Amino acid sequence: MSTEHLADVQRYVPAANEKAVGGIVKHLGIALKSKDASMVSCSSKDELERVRESWLKKKLALADDDKALDAAIKEVCEKMKGDKNKHRVTFYYLLAEKFGKLAALG
């Protein structure tokens, strides 16, 4: 796992779970090689839908309704609004933390 990813997560969660960060990096794999794919765009409806469907529903196995999941995504967008580039690993970590799913990632 890149220390760069861990350092970015630690800007929001100083005592971040290193194993969970590593699990997210492993899950994303080759997507992290592309600058564009390694970021989340909160202004893209398609992107946020993909986060909901692929990350929250498939990977984290959440069964909450779309409205609740979208609200959580919006909350993370708001938390990270100061970052022009929202790193996908950090974004996913914050969502996993919100739903108490960090242990399942590491």
Q: Kindly give, in sequence order, each residue whose CB lies less than 8 Å from that of residue 3, ignoring residues fewer than 6 positions away.
A: none
24: number of Cβ within 10 Å: 26
Q: Where are the domains of the chain?
A: 3-105
Cα–Cα distance measured from residue 70 to residue 84, given in angstroms and rounded to the nearest whole number: 20
Amino acid 36: pLDDT:
87
Amino acid 23: pLDDT:
95
Per run of 10 residues, the mean pLDDT along the chain (length 106 residues) is 87 96 94 90 96 97 97 98 94 98 91
CATH code of the region 3-105: 1.10.238.120
85: number of Cβ within 10 Å: 12
Q: Kindly give, in sequence order, each residue whose CB lies less than 8 Å from that of residue 54, ignoring residues fewer than 6 positions away.
A: none
Amino acid 64: pLDDT:
95
Q: What is the pLDDT of residues 20-47, one digit of tens each?
A: 999 999 999 988 998 889 999 999 999 9
Q: What's the first-to-final CA gap in the chain, in angstroms?
A: 12
pTM for the model stands at 0.95
